[in-house]
Structure 1
Amino acid sequence: MAKGELDADSVFLSNLAVLMDSKKKKYKLRTVTGRMAANALSLDGNPPLADPEKLLTENQDDKWYQHRGSFSNHMIAIHMDRFTGKPHHYLPAESFHAELPNERSYPFADSLTIPLEYRLLALTKFQGMADYLFPHKYLTDRNLDSVVLEMIPAFISCASRTEYEILLLKLSASLNDTHSSPFSRQVKNRAAIFRNGFIPPFDYQVFDEGIVITDTIIGKTCAAAGLKRGDLITHINAVPVKKIIDTLASLISVSNHSTLLYRLSAMSTNFMWRSSVPDFTLTVNGSAHRVRFTSSKDPDYEQLVNYIRRQLQPPVTPQPEITSDGIAIFRSEQFASMYENVDDTLIDRHIDSLLALAANQKAIIFDMRKFIDWGGLLYTYVPRYFAAAPHHFADYYMINRNRLGTYVRKWQPDTYLADSLAYRNKPYKGKVVILTGPGTLSQTEWNTMSLQKLFPQAVTIGTPSAGADGDEKIMNLPGGYKLPFTGNAIFYPDGTPAQRKGVKVDRLIPRTPASVLKADAVMEAAIGYIIE
């Protein structure tokens, strides 16, 4: 199967009958995986690696099939042989490729319940992904093998498309991986699952103890309800905010709790406000406030939409901001704007001129709190300008094709920095500050690690990052769904993982109900450090 001579899904589906014990009416899903298992992944049968210290083996755990009980050898074989062998029909050609090849999506009409055999195929594909393609199985809060076992009855009894989507969301959430968070956007029955069709007339930030109103957008509505900026909402329709957070945590995948609160604070997703009617009762300081939320049919809807758009699309600046204090500020979401209107033949000279401008300031701030829109600045231009030689800032582990379920360090220099750079060796002597937060995700975390090494004097200030470094992979699941997940493992050279923990932060700025009412508490702390 790994060679593509047999289609793994077809083999699974044709052997599904073995899973049912007709007398006891009991499914033995783990019979889905077998004889090929012990043979294909026998550690003794694999060639030794030249550098065993650079092998990540924490994920490899074969106990579930070694103590298979009701598992048949035949079906264990189907599970194991899918990803073992060459030329790896189901593995991407390059470690940084996202799409897993030759994985069919099995689209069904949105109104249809996914047939039983395809529901069980989805669960089995998830198990295979967790075993052989997800390098952080050992870091999850719950044992993923146990999660799959416990969900078998639910996948069998599932009676609707909505139930199936809830089960997929729970599987995704069990990964504890912020890369998987966008999966919540794919569900067809989002309104029925999240019941979040009504938008509040105010902006907000979510905390375990409550929701802080940070801006009153529809002023007249907020005033009529007696709501103002700074109010702390502790209950929504008599349900404690913490209980709503816990419910959503079982459906939305995040690497750490601070990232969960950050994502629940986004008006664009609107997860917190769960109701089938627009009239909400919000508890503030023990008092109930009745407020009508906005739907797409209301006249105030366009005002809210425009507000959200402005949040998502910040103003574009063609060069770093230079403050009156002599501080150059680069913002990760605006890197691409530095070259967008520049002729291709002049880009190198133009970017160097911007870096020279920054180098003449007394301090540089790299604001990395939003997803980076152009990696080239920190992959090529910044190290070329300031560094004397390549700097070892991370260890990147990719799928080990000689021993599936383990991961091997990628040594190629161009994984880390652009190859054959003509280093200018212009070390910067001023202060350097790197800002981080839950929006520091994936490539932005990777580039942050590079900056931390490139500038030895750099101080990282902010809150924990998203904790999902490494390239994303995407697994197709029956029903036309695409489950994203972290497919490579990233570590600092000292062995500290970036997954779940995020990048290292020197000065944590606590995110509190009071701090979110400031214009920008993290930037304020950075400037304070520079001028101290």
Structure 2
Amino acid sequence: MMQKVLLLSILLVFKLFFGHAQAVNHKVENQNIQEFIQIWGLVKYRSQKSIAGKFDADNMFLNLIDSVKSADHDQFNQLMLRLTKDNTPKTTVSKQVYPKPKLIDGPYLTNNIDYDWIKNRKYNLLVKEQLEHLTNQINNSGQHHYVPSVFYQGDLPNEGAYKDYTFNKEAMNLLALAKAWNAIEYLFPYKYMIDKNWKNVLKDMIPFFRKINDRTSYEKGILMLEASINDTHAGGFMGYNPGSMQMCNTILNVRYYPPFDYIARENNLIITKFLNDSLAKNSTLKPGDEIITINGIKIKKWLKERSALLPASNTSVTYRELSTSNNFRGDAFAFSNLKNNSLKLKVKRQKTTFQQNLVMLDRKDQESIKIITSHIHEEIAREKALKGIENIGNHITVIRAGNVFDKDIPDDNDLEKLAAELKSKKALIFDMRKYPQSPGFFSYYIPMLLGKAPFQFARYYTVDLRQIGNFKFRNKLDTYMNVPKDGPKPIGDLYTGKIVILTNENTQSMGEWYTMMLRQFNSNTTVIGSQTAGADGDVKRITLPGDYQFSFTGNGIFYPDGRETQRVGIKPDIYFKPSAKELSISTDAQLQKAIKFIEEGL
């Protein structure tokens, strides 16, 4: 008996020791991987051999990663010397100092640059010298193998797609992490605004990516990375190849759908419209009702748990993505991850509250799918039916950015007539609550029709090819507006009537850009609305293994005085968000607010 007890004790001690040793070994491996990814990224974006296309970054990563994981101190340094070795002729400058101003008003945006990690005591003197040398190299070629030379080009070049990848190889999964992480490290102008230290994100994500063994966990890892950069443009991944993605069905589990459309707010879900008349008649709920708890959980907490994987620059976009209004995707993220189709609600209706059971539609049921699809098609048709340019009475014209198309641009012979017609109006309302469909209409025709000469209305920073990681101010006027050499000049005098711009959480990117432009047309301009998407600047996309696109904002946009627009959005002059009552009726309350402001000045 004593021998059995002794044997069990020895086995327990051995198991504890072996488990501890494994944990320690895994920790060392993760540290090696993290440091390797940082050094590999520096070589990819700053070395002359990589700039010239003489460095196959993916191949080098895949060849070294297994050796790196198990390397001791000396072996690691030898591997890094091999990685950083560069026999290509180099152009360097002396050690540079990168000031970080509070307002962005200089020729360079340097807020992201931080090479303190190079001082790591693990690196020997030769490795540190090589790394510092890389930070001081200058690219005078005007080209880069892994970065587009045209500042507004979206796709990063020469990135392998690995279309047939099966998502079960650790080395390839870590390559995906390394590619995405370093794209943000060097090419995302707002890295300095990310909530979490970006190096800590890498540290935290390595264990997850090492455990990936199927497509679903791979997609979840990419989505976790996208969500971590606090950028609405990263939401492009959610719309990528939706027919084959596992995200909606498995990762976020959005099987069930409510019988109504709703708007998500911080403390409630506001019912706006039932999917059809039959569902409305069979429910005691009504448009305008506010759901304040679900299964006993307050909405704020409920939504927080369901928004962790939704990329967004700010909470306005988070609640937009949790809503069904204007998404037309057939999802309902606020009702994700349900165990069954039955919910217990606490509902507020004006000044009273009551309990209500809710039975959700099941997206695995064909009849439910038919109801949801039919409703979405009706909503799309309703949106399409809105006129791009519409007169309201004799004194106001509404121009809807999301409903004006290139085909609506007038012929040259009609320009003077249209200019005179617009200038005869007491006020112009520019509705920027949908994404602009005709950039040329806003960058060229509207200024010309309203008598506005091209002007710089923002500070625009693009990747500095000479020093990747840095961003350079573009002061050329044609960056901001269409400036044809021999094209028509502005027609007549500047329009001095009232200009009202409507914004909300759907005002994003180009919508924010043109809002900034229109806001500075004349001194009689007012923005009425709420916080915008906070994601201005052209989108960049890097291809990851499996042919996935990892998206992020690629250029830095600031107000002329240096204030940020990223995450902040365009702040309105008059804050407006429709109330629950206003959302329950079909009238466009925000448009009515603008008309009242024009007529009464309120």
TM-score, with length taken from structure 1 = 0.88
CA deviation after TM superposition for structure 1 residue 157, in Å: 2.1
CA deviation after TM superposition for structure 1 residue 194, in Å: 1.3
CA deviation after TM superposition for structure 1 residue 89, in Å: 0.4
Q: In the superposition, relative to structure 1, how do residues 388 and 153 fare at CA in structure 2: closer, same or farther (>3 Å)?
A: closer
1:335 maps to 404
Q: In the superposition, relative to structure 1, how do residues 52 and 466 fare at CA in structure 2: closer, same or farther (>3 Å)?
A: closer
Tell me the alpha carbon deviations over residues 72-101 of structure 1, each in whole angstroms, 9 at most, x when there is no partner.
949x969x79x9744300111200100101
CA deviation after TM superposition for structure 1 residue 454, in Å: 1.6
1:201 maps to 259
Other structure's SS at 1:315 match: helix
2:341 maps to 279
Indicate the percent of aligned positions where both proteins have the same amino acid. Answer: 30
1:520 maps to 588
Moved over 6 A (4+): 30-34, 39-43
1:343 maps to none
1:317·1:338 contact (CA, 8 Å) conserved in 2? no
CA deviation after TM superposition for structure 1 residue 15, in Å: 1.1
Distance 1:146 1:161 in 2: 25
Match of 1:13 among 54, 57, 62: 62
Q: In the superposition, relative to structure 1, how do residues 107 and 244 fare at CA in structure 2: closer, same or farther (>3 Å)?
A: farther
Distance 1:319 1:475 in 2: 34
Query: Cα RMSD (Å) of the superposition?
Result: 3.4
Distance 2:502 2:149 in 1: 35
Match of 2:115 among 42, 55, 62: 62
Distance 1:411 1:153 in 2: 44
- Structure with the higher helix share, 1 or 2: 2
Distance 1:453 1:43 in 2: 41
Count of paired positions: 518
Tell me the alpha carbon deviations over residues 315-346 of structure 1, each in whole angstroms, 9 at most, x when there is no partner.
34666211125210000011216627xxxxx6
Match of 2:144 among 57, 76, 88: 88
Other structure's SS at 1:435 match: strand
Match of 1:392 among 456, 460, 463: 456
Match of 1:270 among 320, 324, 332: 332
2:179 maps to 125
Match of 1:373 among 437, 448, 451: 437
1:34·1:65 contact (CA, 8 Å) conserved in 2? no
2:319 maps to 261
CA deviation after TM superposition for structure 1 residue 208, in Å: 2.0
Tell me the alpha carbon deviations over residues 97-141 of structure 1, each in whole angstroms, 9 at most, x when there is no partner.
0010101122235xx333100111111112211121100000111
1:36·1:77 contact (CA, 8 Å) conserved in 2? no
Stretches of structure 1 lacking an aligned partner (at least 5 in a row)? 341-345
Tell me the alpha carbon deviations over residues 190-241 of structure 1, each in whole angstroms, 9 at most, x when there is no partner.
2011111332211111112121111122343354443222222234455543
Q: In the superposition, relative to structure 1, how do residues 503 and 322 fare at CA in structure 2: closer, same or farther (>3 Å)?
A: same
Distance 2:593 2:95 in 1: 56
Other structure's SS at 1:284 match: strand
Distance 2:296 2:281 in 1: 21
Asked whether 1:172 is paired with 2:222, we answer no
2:496·2:522 contact (CA, 8 Å) conserved in 1? no
Other structure's SS at 1:15 match: helix
CA deviation after TM superposition for structure 1 residue 289, in Å: 0.6
Q: In the superposition, relative to structure 1, how do residues 413 and 97 fare at CA in structure 2: closer, same or farther (>3 Å)?
A: same
CA deviation after TM superposition for structure 1 residue 498, in Å: 1.5
1:173·1:249 contact (CA, 8 Å) conserved in 2? no
Match of 1:189 among 246, 258, 264: 246
Amino acid at match of 1:504: K
Q: In the superposition, relative to structure 1, how do residues 224 and 382 fare at CA in structure 2: closer, same or farther (>3 Å)?
A: closer
Residues 113-512 of structure 1 mapped to structure 2, 5 A cutoff: 113-186=167-240, 188-190=245-247, 191-266=249-324, 268=329, 269-275=331-337, 279-285=341-347, 287-295=355-363, 297-313=365-381, 314-316=383-385, 320-324=389-393, 326-336=395-405, 339=408, 347-419=411-483, 420=485, 421=487, 422-510=489-577, 512=579
Tell me the alpha carbon deviations over residues 15-74 of structure 1, each in whole angstroms, 9 at most, x when there is no partner.
1123213689xx99x97997579x9997636899xx992110001111233336479949
Which structure would you say has the larger Rg?
Answer: 2
